[in-house]
Structure 1
């Protein structure tokens, strides 16, 4: 039943094939577990129990290892085929708890709600905000307008970015215009809630990128070839080939 949900393929991307050689489980099982984990409000132990009901013996720590190994490769492929985003950005950060301390997920969406970029940082300051803006611009091109809330660090970071540009980015500090990104945070927070506290910053960064990746796929941000529409699951599996 699992295999029917996967997109047929004859070859694997070289990076994925190299990693899979060391994981020693059927590809369909690994892909299913990784997708379920980043797509739905499930804990690793939930997945272990669900697989056991299907007579598949996989420890929850093994599923975690699959996520950490495979998600960065999926994200790399996704970014090569991500649809262009708009030039009017809404930027905000949300809080994610790691090992009992709050860390910061910087996020941006365009005015239609499409995800532009994200970056997980340990601190909420000018340096973190500037790193996010530089990454987002490098990946998606320059915006015409960036809307932020009253955050002083975000404003300082944008001013620093603009100081090095011939054509400055227009900056707006209007909280109500940022409702769209604040609402979009909810999908990410809803997924992290059952994780019962992330224990490691680098692992959290990878897991969050997987959640963001699946969120973008559900928004229709992956450019697909062919005339037949693919489900979100099929689009996720297509990143392997």
Structure 2
């Protein structure tokens, strides 16, 4: 029986270097050139374009493994949209999170109509094992009309709130990391690349972004260590070498 081919087959850099570079890119507010410099400090000479290709090739796969290993999504979903500008054109970034603020899925679309809402809801349902018991949205009319045409959501309780209401802060706050990254990258440009990046950015960032203010230092370090151990399994790494 043949052994399974390594995830990093054909790459001249060790798996630990590639996995670390991808994690840095999606976890922190770092540019590709920042990561190039950090790797150079550790004796690894690699161009930022190579790091970009690593992120493009491995980011989606790592994010999928992270999402597959998470706890079952909560029973309350918060749906919201935010405007982003790509090369001077306005787009809507649709996002769904549960009551624990875990990002369920995102979708970049040009419109804000019933078809766009229906497309997004179906995407979130496909990414989750069960339909929610309640969804919370703003007062956008596209949501109820789309919900009425999706069998899994017809009997789901639908709560409408004003954009400024406290109950919707969970959805509103979930946009903040994207806004911060958008400023760091000096704006998004290509729709396909933006969708691919943000689909990996959310799960990988959240995997390590523990709520430190709610945890004792010892418990925080323990849980973070567990997250790193999981990451090593996701990326097929046994242990990072010194300096990584």
TM-score by length of 1: 0.80
Q: Which protein, 1 or 2, shows the higher relative CO under an 8 Å CA cutoff with sep ≥ 6?
A: 1
Q: Which residue of 1 aligns with 2:159?
A: 172
What is residue 207 of structure 1 aligned with on the other side? 197
Superposition CA RMSD, Å: 2.4
Contact residue 105 and residue 199 of structure 2 kept, 8 A: no
With over 3 angstroms needed to count, the CA separation of the structure-2 counterparts of 1:186 and 1:13, relative to structure 1, is: farther
CA offset at residue 170 of structure 1?
1.6
Gaps of 5+ in 2: 211-221, 237-244
Q: How many residues align?
A: 218
Q: Is the aligned partner of 1:237 residue 2:232?
A: yes
Give the deviation of 1:210 after TM superposition. Answer: 1.8
Name 2:56's counterpart in structure 1.
68
Equivalent in the alignment of 1:148:
137
- Confirm or deny: 8 A CA contact 1:38 1:191 kept in the other structure: no
Q: Quote how far apart the aligned CAs of 1:219 are.
A: 5.5
CA drift of 1:156 comes to: 2.4
Within-5 A mapping of 1:45-60: 45-60=33-48
Deviation at 1:83, TM superposition (A): 0.8
Q: Relative to structure 1, is the Cα distance of residues 237 and 127 closer, same or farther in structure 2, using a 3 angstrom cutoff?
A: farther
For the pair 1:194 / 2:184, whether they are aligned, the reply is yes
DSSP 3-state at the match of 2:125: helix
Aligned in 2, Cα 1:100/1:52: closer, same or farther, shift over 3 Å?
farther
* SS in structure 2 at match of 1:86: coil
- In the other structure, the counterpart of 1:114 is 102
Match of 1:79 in 2: 67
Distance 1:105 1:219 in 2: 22
> Where does residue 86 of structure 2 map in the other structure?
98
Paired position in structure 1 for 2:213:
none
The TM-score, its normalising length taken from structure 2, stands at 0.79
Residue 127 of structure 1 corresponds to: 115
Match of 1:34 in 2: 22
Q: Secondary structure at the match of 1:123?
A: coil
Q: Determine the C-alpha separation between the residues in 2 that align with 1:67 and 1:48.
A: 13
Deviation of 1:208 after TM superposition, in Å, equals: 0.7
The Cα of 1:67 is off from its aligned counterpart by 0.5
Structure 1 residue ranges without an equivalent (≥5): 1-11, 221-227
Name which of 5, 8, 12 aligns with 1:24. 12
Q: Secondary structure at the match of 1:160?
A: coil
